[in-house]
Amino acid sequence: MSPTRSTRTEPEKSTGAATAASRHPVSRRRLVGAAGAAGAAGLLAGGASGAAAAEALRDAPPAPLTSIGANGVPFHGPHQAGITTPLQAAGHFAAFDLAPGAGRKEAAALLKRWSATARELSEGKAAASGTGSALDAGPASLTVTFGFGRTFFDRTGLAARRPAGLAPLPAFSADALDARRSDGDLWLQIGADDALVAFDALRTLQRRAGDAAVLRWQMSGFNRTPGATDRPRTARNLMGQVDGTNNPRPEDPDFDGHVFVPADAGQEWLAGGSYAVFRRIRMLLDTWDHLSRERQERVIGRRRSDGAPLSGGEETTPVDMNKQLADGSLAIAGDAHVRVAAPESNGGATMLRRSFSYHDGYLDTGDGPVPDAGLLFVAWQADPLKGFVPVQRKLDRGDGLSRFLRHEASGLFAVPGGAREGEYVGQRLLEG
């Protein structure tokens, strides 16, 4: 089919996670985000950081319902919002290309407009040019994160300052990439705990692009609604699997080293920034759902019910890669996803995965409709060559899960450090 799909040029669709208390707007933030952006937290009541924040998250009592709208995530800080922010219920991704004739000056003006708009919206102020659909709601943990694609540097005459990390990703055998839905000069990640707030932000930012940039592609995704589960930190994906258990955590001593570009890496505008790898990964759910739960679990290496590794323990128990079953076989199969993706299988390579699920109706395969659904995969890392690239190379060769996946779109973006008060995102590049 599906008629549902046929009129669309771009994918779509949307809805995930929070904590806070009382009705004082923005008096408390969700603490994982707070931990990651502690220095930024002008709005953060306490100075919680690192391990303390993570602990607080686990033990925090459920917050009242109205905090979902009142929660705000600071726009300014050493890192952009939306990287360590807890997953939101609704997300949009959009790429823009600079318009013909637009260069560095127009890009700078655009980033200035966009930053001002993103700040306003993340404080719950309705933009003058807004749609009105966010009225009545608070900021609902809105974040907007901006990234620059490889081509951005050519278009702005800044090719000499293009960071090494933006080298094109290698081709992988499982790729079936659609160039029209890949790459782009500029990349936006929008997340909020309310779908109308997220829509308003997307539309307002698109309109404020004015004549400077043209939408290239746009996709929408979702995660759990805050409060729909007591599970504290990990998400579920559309395969039904707990997703994100092995993510680096803000309280890990080497968290920043894995996720954020260090200040001494040579490009001041990128200090405190990150690289985002974005992939639209369609899940072949019709095939997957026909496997028994036991076979699904062997493919992943974890129990579906609670995410515990098949080597024993509970979700957060370290995976014992050598554990043998009574018959001498490995508890974690040689091609289990959890083994092939593990840092210890990849020379310590790791990344912060922070994805949204998507569901864009159904595709007509000629053999009946199959869900056009899966993961809008987002991975954050200080260096793609020490994060996504080695892990995906390994997965591409040896992951039992890969036959249930199709990578349909891809992008790699350099994400500047957070804007300081009075600054816009990317200013140190564009005016530096």
Contact partners, residue 326, CB within 8 Å, separation at least 6: none
Cβ closest to its own copies, residue 161 vs residue 231: 231
Q: Is 117 in the site for its own copies (CB under 8 A)?
A: no
Query: Strand, helix or coil at 107?
Result: helix
Place of tokens 């997703």: 243
Q: Is 251 in the site for its own copies (CB under 8 A)?
A: no
User: Of 52, 109, 363, 385, which lies in the binding site for its own copies, with binding defined by CB under 8 A?
Assistant: 363
Q: Is 124 in the site for its own copies (CB under 8 A)?
A: no
Q: Which of residues 270-289 bind its own copies (CB under 8 A)?
A: 285, 289
Q: Is 4 in the site for its own copies (CB under 8 A)?
A: yes
Cβ closest to its own copies, residue 172 vs residue 362: 362
* d(C-alpha 98, C-alpha 363), whole Å: 31
Asked whether the CA dihedral 312, 315, 318, 319 is positive or negative, the reply is positive
Q: Which of residues 77-96 bind its own copies (CB under 8 A)?
A: 89-90
- Mark the segment that binds its own copies (CB under 8 A) among 9-17, 253-261, 328-336, 338-346: 9-17
Active-site annotation holds for 243: yes
CA dist 49 → 37, 74, 80 (Å) = 8, 15, 17
Neighbours of 54 (CB within 10 A): 20
Q: Is 371 in the site for its own copies (CB under 8 A)?
A: yes
Q: Is 210 in the site for its own copies (CB under 8 A)?
A: no
Cβ closest to its own copies, residue 183 vs residue 256: 183
Structure tokens at 430: 């564009």
Cβ closest to its own copies, residue 193 vs residue 383: 193
Q: Is 230 in the site for its own copies (CB under 8 A)?
A: yes
Q: Is 218 in the site for its own copies (CB under 8 A)?
A: yes
Minimal distance, residue 112 CB to its own copies, in Å: 22
Q: Which one is catalytic: 97, 185, 194, 243?
A: 243
User: Of 42, 47, 62, 348, which lies in the binding site for its own copies, with binding defined by CB under 8 A?
Assistant: 62
> Which residues face 145 on adjacent strands?
189
Structure tokens at 397: 């060769």
* d(C-alpha 325, C-alpha 319), whole Å: 14
Q: Which of residues 388-417 bind its own copies (CB under 8 A)?
A: 409
How many residues form the binding site for its own copies (CB under 8 A)?
A: 91
Name residue 117's amino acid: T
Place of tokens 């890392």: 381
User: Of 49, 122, 145, 241, which lies in the binding site for its own copies, with binding defined by CB under 8 A?
Assistant: 241
Q: Is 207 in the site for its own copies (CB under 8 A)?
A: yes
- Using only the alpha carbons of the chain, give its radius of gyration: 21
Closest CA to 145 of 196, 183, 92: 92
User: Of 45, 116, 214, 284, which lies in the binding site for its own copies, with binding defined by CB under 8 A?
Assistant: 214
CA dist 391 → 38, 205, 255, 269, 348 (Å) = 29, 34, 17, 27, 10
Closest CA to 344 of 390, 289, 383: 390
Nearest 5°: phi and psi at 195? -70, -30
Cβ closest to its own copies, residue 38 vs residue 87: 87
Whether the Cβ atoms of residue 196 and residue 135 lie closer than 8 Å to each other: no
- Mark the segment that binds its own copies (CB under 8 A) among 11-19, 78-86, 340-348, 399-407: 11-19
User: Of 113, 151, 362, 393, which lies in the binding site for its own copies, with binding defined by CB under 8 A?
Assistant: 362
For the annotated catalytic residues, the residue numbers are 243
